[in-house]
Homo-oligomer: A and B are copies of this chain.
């Protein structure tokens, strides 16, 4: 993409309404624009990141055996009356009356609707296990929406729902999501720590939050440093192997990690002092096992092999997809701007032509641009007639992992400059060698 024709309205100044760094940087990088309080439009640069995160979430859901569906945003109030949550939800639920005076709502979550769908289709033990998920916009009418996409009113969530015959089978479904979440966040370049959590309005008796560490996190968390050093991406995982999956869960939950509300001073104190981590955290995922909380009132029954019908055992599993865009920035930025992990970067390479009026520079930069594109490397080419300083600043701001700089001095010696955004390391390379870095090598995992 050529920057001269790209819709990327960057801002030079910090917008006054933004209180946290991710909100500031997303506005300054032209990623989003507020439409109304807590409601954002995603501009091309922000949209690309959102889609990459969504795709990684999708791939890991599919790998764990979940099947993608898509439920509507607008739901009938009737189902929520059956579960008893229509009143529980209070003013956070956006309530709507249609032209025929039917009560509707903008779904804040989907336990009721998916249970109704499952009930209409499944009859017996042959129809389980199933895990159905969707990635759909939700609405929660927060009193004071703030922090940009981190706490918006309209937000994109991945929510999955598992259906099983027994508690034991439901626990395996829960464990599969637990492991899928660890893998998802690791691929996003995040260290996410599972922590026991309260179940809140979803209900149930087993729940974990997945929390990433960031200075601007909303809550206080405590953990043993060991948990930050575990690796889940190494080998492929057979999600049908209950023992293997349980083993991963056990390995992660054996190490102390807790949010403020579940914090145990004694257990924490027993950790060697140099291994204690006390930090701020951001919740990026939340999983629940709640058994028959919804299947019973909604009548989602299945027949066991012995003929007896029982309410289906359920769990639900959420990832805040749009929130993750902000959360990744909170965890990965410096004073000059965003530092995207390669896996979610909107483009892999930012190409800077330092002197647009110079025929040699433009020919070299355009040649590099065409070669990279033909090789399938996503590149944003700054071909604008701006000062070098302005170009460096905006390339640092938008945070692409690699910068390739073409200038008259280097070109005279046949070289271009390659800069890694994360480390700031620069090296001069012949053009062919620089190109080979991107066209020959496979894309780095993170």
Q: Which residues of A contact B (CB under 8 A)?
A: 4-7, 9, 30, 33, 35-37, 39-44, 47, 50, 65, 67-76, 91-92, 94, 96, 98-99, 102, 104, 106, 113, 116-117, 120-122, 126, 129-130, 132, 137, 139, 141, 143, 153-154
Contacts and interface: CB of A to CB of B under 8 A. Distances in A.
Contacts of A37: 102
A154 B73 CA distance: 8
A6 B67 contact: yes
A143 B99 contact: yes
Contacts of A68: 44, 47
A35 B121 contact: no
B35 A71 contact: yes
A103 B102 CA distance: 19
Contacts of A35: 71-72, 75-76, 113, 116
Contact of A94 (B69, B72, B98): B98
A117 B71 contact: no
Nearest to A1: B67
Given A7-B121, A41-B113, A70 B98 contact: no
Contact of A121 (B30, B42, B122): B30
A104 B7 contact: no
5 contacts: A7-B132, A35-B76, A36-B102, A39-B75, A74-B154
Work out how many copies of this chain go into the complex: 2
Contacts of A116: 35
Contact of A41 (B70, B92, B130, B137): B70
Given A96-B94, A98-B94, A99-B141, A117 B70 contact: no
B69 A44 contact: yes
Query: Interface centre among A44, A67, A141, A143, by most B CB within 10 Å?
Result: A67
Given A117-B33, A141-B98, A41 B104 contact: no
Nearest to A9: B121
Contacts of A74: 36, 39, 94, 106, 139, 153-154
8 smallest beta-carbon distances between A and B, as pairs: A9-B121, A42-B70, A36-B76, A91-B99, A41-B71, A44-B67, A39-B72, A72-B154
B47 A69 contact: yes
Nearest to A96: B96
Contacts of A129: 5
Contacts of A139: 74
Contacts of A121: 7, 9, 30, 33, 43
A7 B76 contact: no
A96 B98 CA distance: 9
A75 B6 CA distance: 25
A70 B47 contact: yes
Nearest to A91: B99
A120 B154 contact: no
A57 B116 CA distance: 32
A73 B137 contact: yes
Interface centre among A7, A43, A106 (most CB of B within 10 A): A7
A33 B120 contact: yes
A126 B5 CA distance: 8
Given A30-B121, A33-B120, A120-B9, A43 B72 contact: no
Contacts of A102: 36-37
A139 B154 CA distance: 15
A74 B130 CA distance: 32
A42 to B, nearest CB: 4
Given A42-B70, A47-B70, 9 more contacts: A5-B65, A7-B67, A9-B120, A41-B72, A41-B117, A47-B68, A47-B69, A73-B137, A137-B137
Contacts of A50: 70
Contacts of A67: 6-7, 44
Contacts of A117: 33, 41, 43
